[in-house]
Amino acid sequence: MNRWRRSVGEIQARKRLVSECEQAQVSFNKLTACFQQMATCLGSNTDGSLLRDEMEETRGQAHKICTGLHRRLLKLLVETEQSQDDREQVERLWVLLLSTLENFQQELRKVSALQELFPVTLQKDRHALVNTGASGGGTEVAGRAAMVQNPWVVTECKEKPDLNGHVLEIETLLQEMLQRVNVPLWSVEPMQKAWAEGTQEEDDDILEEIMEVEVVSQDGKSGCCSHSNCRLRCIFCLLN
């Protein structure tokens, strides 16, 4: 009886851990997207020390979530059997993390290069910024990044590296992920259809609603030209 209770508790703990990993992946995607959007302001007239500080804060938050997500997903994949019901779900999160890390690494390299080209440590450095005519900066984006919640109750103790060290750390992380876990990227299938919110059926329904035109015939009776053979007639009705 105690063994059965222990197995039920392990199942519940695993489900909770998988759910936390899903939330962490969503949060990590939001943070990397905010970081990428703020990076577009580097070197422009909206650049400054405030933007650099906000980017550093966003990068540190992304580093904490990524560190915890990597460790937990690795535990789920290495220390469990292949016959787990949620194995495909965890493998999908693993592939998503790989893809997000690669994109984030590219952004970090770009930011490192732009910060060297456009330093803002002194007031005179602002003369080198490009006047794009844009107003405002990344404050709104930084506000959205600050609203992203960390799903881990206990944050990771690992400190955030500097910008170049972060690039090297992600490179090591990617190599470790590819070597320690054998998850073929082509074997992972998506959980939902791409662009599910814009299916062809919905587009056809919208087109039908647009083409429905109330037409009054010569005998005074109203009709609707919603059929395919009457669509040309609808156009002439709208023109007249």
Residue bearing the bigger pLDDT, 80 or 2: 80
| 239 pLDDT higher than 60 | no
Cα distance between residue 212 and residue 121, in whole Å:
62
Q: Could you tell me where in the chain the CATH 1.20.58.70 domains are found?
A: 2-186
* Of the candidates 72, 62, 58, the residue with the CA atom closest to the CA atom of residue 21: 72
Residue bearing the bigger pLDDT, 179 or 222: 179
Q: How far is CA 144 from CA 38, 63, 139, 141, in A?
A: 11, 17, 9, 5
* Mean pLDDT value across residues 43-72: 91
With beta carbons less than 8 A apart as the criterion, state whether 44 and 134 touch.
Answer: yes
Q: Which two tokens stand for residue 240?
A: 């007249």
- Average pLDDT for the chain: 76
Cα distance between residue 156 and residue 38, in whole Å:
25
For the stretch 10-42, pLDDT in tens is: 778 888 888 999 999 999 999 999 999 999 989
Cα distance between residue 173 and residue 66, in whole Å:
10
For the stretch 77-122, pLDDT in tens is: 876 655 567 778 888 898 899 999 999 999 999 999 999 998 888 7
pTM score > 0.85 for this model? no
Contacting residues for 219 by C-beta, under 8 A, at least 6 apart:
none
* Mean pLDDT value across residues 120-146: 75
Fold adopted by 2-186 = Methane Monooxygenase Hydroxylase; Chain G, domain 1 (1.20.58)
β-partners of residue 214 are: 224
The helix/strand/coil state of 218 is coil
pLDDT > 90 in the chain, percent: 30
What backbone phi and psi angles, to 5 degrees, belong to 224?
Answer: -130, 130
What backbone phi and psi angles, to 5 degrees, belong to 218?
Answer: -65, -30
Alpha helices in 130-199 (DSSP H): 139-146, 163-180
